[in-house]
Structure 1
Amino acid sequence: MNASSRHRMLAGVIGAILLVGISLAPSAQVTDAAFTDSEHTTATLTAATLETPVVTSCTVTSFLGTFTGFTIVWTSPYVKANERLSINNVTVAPANITQSGAGPYTYTSTISSGLLNTLLGSLLGSTNTVRVEAIAGTSWASQAATKTLSVGGLLGLGGNNTCT
């Protein structure tokens, strides 16, 4: 018998032993793995909320009845990074907001008619919603403190310039 035949015979014997071993092994046990524990508890959960900023003033500046800008001032317990000022849902850049105090903080933003025109387009004879919110992350915001900015036309011909 040559070496090749011996190797084949040895492989066949090992294969037969393996098959016999598998057939003699105990079968897997069936189990009921349902978790049906009837214990439970109750609790009251309250979501944390952010405090709504408080607008302390909103004043309009005009020259000969023509709107030139407005200044809004508000207080909030949160730092500037957590404040958002928007006009008609267009966010004003944080660089246009100043912070003072040590908490609660006072915020001031003076927006010129030129900046408003850049943000919103022509404002002649328009009514605009000004919103101040405290924010955390990208989707968590307080209730908004709102004001209505009304801009009359040139020389005030389209109505008074007000922030109420």
Structure 2
Amino acid sequence: METGKSFVRRDKLLEIEAKVRVSWEQSCVFKAESNVTRPKPGKIFVGTFPFPFMNGTLRLGHAFSLSKLEFASAYHRLRGANVLLPFAFTVLGCPLRLAQINLFKKFIEDLKAFGFGCDWRRTFITADINPFYNSFIRWQMRKLKDMGKIVKDLRYAVYSPLDGQPCADHDRALVKVCNLKIIP
């Protein structure tokens, strides 16, 4: 009969990790403060990460990509820069359900357990329930259009007479589609 392995060293490391996480939170090391005066070059670092879509769990790919941003942020923080590292999640294009809100909270706990040095005061969700984000995007689109960076043009699309609108490849893969027309 094999005896159980000892996890004393692992448990000690987890205990140290928990203490360090509490210390970080209490000392607000990840909170970026706005300055009254303009910072000198190299004294500010802003990092962003593509918003994960909230239709499942965070994967190893998220952690791998995020670790690069985390490393760069920590490097600049150690060099004395004011580091702004916000984080957001997207639910646009799908109905927001209570399960997704709970998943949102779990994602944050997972990222904190990962040791992600984010300013959690600046976390948001992209959804219709967030009028601040929606108004920001509308403002941004108007600015880009005024600058000539956004152009409305024609393009070919597969059109569904049944739905009365264009449909994408994934729409056609879900159901058997008949009577499609390609319109210019």
Q: What TM-score do the two structures reach when normalised by structure 2?
A: 0.23
Larger relative contact order (C-alpha < 8 A, sep ≥ 6)? 1
Which structure has greater helix proportion? 2
Question: TM-score, length-normalised on structure 1?
Answer: 0.25
Higher strand share: 1
